[in-house]
Amino acid sequence: MPVDHVHPLVGTANEGQTYPATGVPFAMTHWTPQTRAGETKCVAPYYFVDDRIQGFRGSHFLSGSCVPDYGSVTLMASLGSLQTAAVARASRFERQTEHATPYSYRVHLTDAGLVAELTGTARAGMMRYKFDHAGDGSVVIENNARGGDGWVRIEGQQVTGEVPVRREYAGSGKLAGFSSYFVIEFDHRFTGQGTWAGDTTQEGASLQQGDGLPLGVVSVAGVRTTTGGASKAAATLPTASTRPGFGVYVRFANVKPGETVIARIGTSFVSVDEARKNLQAEIPDWDFDKTAAKAEAAWNQSLSSIEVRDDIPARDVFYTAMYHALLHPRTFSDVDGSYPRFAAHGAVEQARGFAYYDDFSMWDTFRAQHPMLTIIDPSRDVDMIRSLILKGQQGGFLPIFPAWNSYTSEMVGDHSSVTIIDAYRKGLRGFDIQAAYRLMVKNATVIPDQADASDGMGRRGLGSYLRLGYIPVEDHMLEAFHKDEQVSRTLEYAYDDAMIGELAADLGKTEDAAAFRKRGANWQNVIDPQTGFARGKHEDRSWITPFDAGKKQTWITEGLPWQYTFFVPQDVPGLMRREGGPHAFCQKLDGLFAGGFYDHGNEPSHHIAYLYDACGEPTKTQQHVRLLMESEYKDAPSGLAGNDDAGQMSAWYVLGALGFYQVTPGVPEYWLGSPRFDDVVLHLPDGKQMHIVAKGSGAGAVYVENIFLNGKKIEGYKLSHRDLVAGGELRFVMRRTPLAH
């Protein structure tokens, strides 16, 4: 089964920022061991280097990111004396007993004296504790609210709670207008109970409201401030929040050796009642093994959409990458369709006939993760697109990077538009493309007022962009998390506009198509024809000096001019001409790789290796893509070269290993590379299959001699989405040495 080849601990060391998320694909809540407490920016719940577990968390951390967790709750069981605070209750564990899968997690906690197991559904979870010896057991429940607010209550034999959610980036620290709620039930009756805040406990009490400190957001020493965004990990990570923590505890006296206590937990972003409904619908009984088996089946169903038949170690890397690429965006609506209205306070909406999603790391995932979903799970991608459109309708602007069910103004570009356009132009339907188009045009033409801009709405620097055709270095985006980055914004807006132009043409909006296609050429305003590099530009149209393309610049986002020079996916032939033609373009690419300027750990580099295809040297695409697959992805906790960014890093591997990559989302075609496996079958949603054959790839053949689609030789270096999903056979004739150029 493909799930047997997934190793969730990959990426939990170094910069990966992943964690062993247990449950089902795209779950509302993931269940994970916790080694670091608090909802602190850039701190994931779990790090492989840690040797103590503080409990087991129902988490909403954006996998592979540098953002705070939110709306989370942690449970910790133990034998012996009661310890409440995270550091005090932390237990050593035996690494050899740690068994992590996508559908369950198990570990023996040495100090706590028990074996703990986790599993989950879309909106609920289960924990099973098996005690080592006789004694008095307890379970501590901690509300992880970032501001120290909310409450936890013991009601008879249930524990309920509210964890207020706070925003990040735009409106950082402000209440997001909704909370996470939980209901916890146990299969044993309590023999005692109490509340706690920090080191203070109240035996017999049933309600704990907040941690007793003034409300607010903690400033935690050790987390860097950075011009980087969600894709950069903290340089120094704190071990815990500086807030004291709070919650309740329940006791189970005189447990026997080998006795188990089971907790089942329902979660919701709407109310305690909805959390209870979710729990009753998804985990109606106390059968932990049955729940785990259902989660395993859900993962196998999703992972089996791509069947890798090669029995080689790279298969484990592949399915682990696929697992990471199927975690987000997260399900946000309850079993009855309820969800909190986007960017609002207190209002509840109803998703009828579809699931509503949130936490779109869109600057990252538009590149590969969403294109991957258009192939293997288009109906889910349609639900995600419906969710994006609803956010725009409810909030006023199409969100650029919606997370915490809020506007964020995090990152640059306007790529929700591209994700919608890509799906539509690939033939996906079931959403209102006219409504989406109106929102795209509003984003591209309406300058938000100061209040809206400060709240994260609209494009940054749009006034300058409309007036000059680029954003000058004098235009500082003070209301955004990324303050400047004018050249990157210009390049990304030009790409977005070009794709809006293509959609306008498809919709018969001829004048709009011409206008947006013209704006799609604005990339030329920030690629200096003398140096051939993306370069900062003053309002008087002079180029910024001094200039070094190999150094970080305030006008470039999370990268270098070397990398962003190649971000013209809408017009690669035009960029090639600007660089002096195909030969000079290939030499420029050679210079990037030879100079060490390629950075696979961050997204602006992800399409670059495929650009050799366009200048007539596909063997170099094949060489670099395969080298990146081997060097940047390992079957180890340190196996990711950078933040996974909600699955984008992993989705790059999934597509690349199949032999192609979508250089230009919005244009329904894939650029061909070097497949990693001899024998793969895409099981497409409509029952069709695409058999990808590349004999010798698994044994080290890197280079492609010819490619045949259903027996017909492919001329050129592109494969259309229509041909891919039509099924049949895609055959790569592989060789160990490159073809003579």
List the 660-661 sheet strands across, edge first.
660-661, 669-672, 718-720
Task: Answer whether residue 222 shows pLDDT above 50.
Answer: no
Quick one: tokens of 233?
């990990």
The answer to whether residues 258 and 130 touch, using CB atoms and an 8 Å cutoff, is yes
Task: Answer whether residue 360 shows pLDDT above 50.
Answer: yes
Query: What's the pLDDT at 79?
Result: 97
Alpha-helical (H) ranges within 614-668 are: 618-632, 648-658
Reference 129, options 153, 106, 98, 156; nearest CA is 106
Task: Answer whether residue 646 shows pLDDT above 90.
Answer: yes
CA 210 → CA 77, 149, 184, 194, 197, distances in Å?
22, 4, 18, 15, 8
Mean of per-residue pLDDT scores for the chain: 95
- Alpha-carbon gap, residue 417 to 424, rounded angstroms: 11
Vertex 621, ends 619 and 623: CA angle to 5°?
Answer: 65
R_g (Cα) of the chain, nearest Å: 26
Orientation angle between helical segments 369-376 and 415-425, nearest 10 degrees: 20
**pLDDT tens digit sequence for 145-162:** 999 999 999 999 999 999
- Could you give the count of Cα atoms lying within 13 Å of 341 in the half-sphere of its Cβ? 10
Task: Answer whether residue 402 shows pLDDT above 50.
Answer: yes
End-to-end Cα distance, the chain = 42
With a CB cutoff of 8 Å and minimum separation 6, the contacts of 385 are 419, 420, 423, 428, 431, 436
3-state secondary structure of 734: strand
3-state secondary structure of 737: coil
If one counts every other C-beta atom within 10 angstroms of the C-beta of residue 379, the result is 11
Task: Answer whether residue 707 shows pLDDT above 50.
Answer: yes
Q: What's the mean pLDDT in 518-525? A: 98
Task: Answer whether residue 235 shows pLDDT above 60.
Answer: no
Task: Answer whether residue 238 shows pLDDT above 60.
Answer: no
Helix, strand, coil percentages for the chain (3-state, nearest 5): 30, 25, 45
- Alpha-carbon gap, residue 202 to 198, rounded angstroms: 11
Query: What's the pLDDT at 234?
Result: 38
**pLDDT tens digit sequence for 575-599:** 999 999 999 999 999 999 999 999 9
Task: Answer whether residue 191 shows pLDDT above 50.
Answer: yes
Q: What percent of the chain has pLDDT over 70?
A: 96
Beta bridge partners of 358: 330
Q: What's the mean pLDDT in 198-215? A: 93
Tell me which H or E stretch contains 577.
helix 572-578
Reference 267, options 256, 277, 275; nearest CA is 275
Query: What's the pLDDT at 15?
Result: 87
- Alpha-carbon gap, residue 44 to 54, rounded angstroms: 13
Q: What's the mean pLDDT in 354-381? A: 98
Whole-model pTM over 0.85 = yes
Least confident among 30-44, 238-252, 339-353, 533-547:
238-252
**pLDDT tens digit sequence for 676-703:** 999 999 999 999 999 999 999 999 999 9
- Alpha-carbon gap, residue 408 to 479, rounded angstroms: 11
Q: What's the mean pLDDT in 657-673? A: 98
- Alpha-carbon gap, residue 713 to 694, rounded angstroms: 14
Query: What's the pLDDT at 478?
Result: 80
Reference 653, options 637, 679, 635, 668; nearest CA is 635
3-state secondary structure of 706: strand
**pLDDT tens digit sequence for 72-99:** 999 999 999 999 999 999 999 999 999 9
Task: Answer whether residue 231 shows pLDDT above 70.
Answer: no
Least confident among 239-248, 539-548, 726-735:
239-248
Write the DSSP assignment of 86-146 as a string of letters: HHHH-EEB-GGG-EE-SSEEEEEETTTTEEEEEEE-SSEEEEEEEESSSEEEEEEEEE--T
Write the DSSP assignment of 288-330 as a string of letters: HHHHHHHHHHHHHHHHTTEEE---STHHHHHHHHHHHTTS-SE
If one counts every other C-beta atom within 10 angstroms of the C-beta of residue 256, the result is 10
pLDDT-derived band at 220 (thresholds 50, 70, 90) equals: very low
Beta bridge partners of 357: 331
The answer to whether residues 277 and 335 touch, using CB atoms and an 8 Å cutoff, is yes
Beta bridge partners of 267: 182
**pLDDT tens digit sequence for 285-309:** 999 999 999 999 999 999 999 999 9
Q: What's the mean pLDDT in 549-577? A: 97
Q: What are the φ and ψ backbone dihedral angles of 457, each rounded to 5 degrees? A: -90, 150
pLDDT-derived band at 529 (thresholds 50, 70, 90) equals: very high
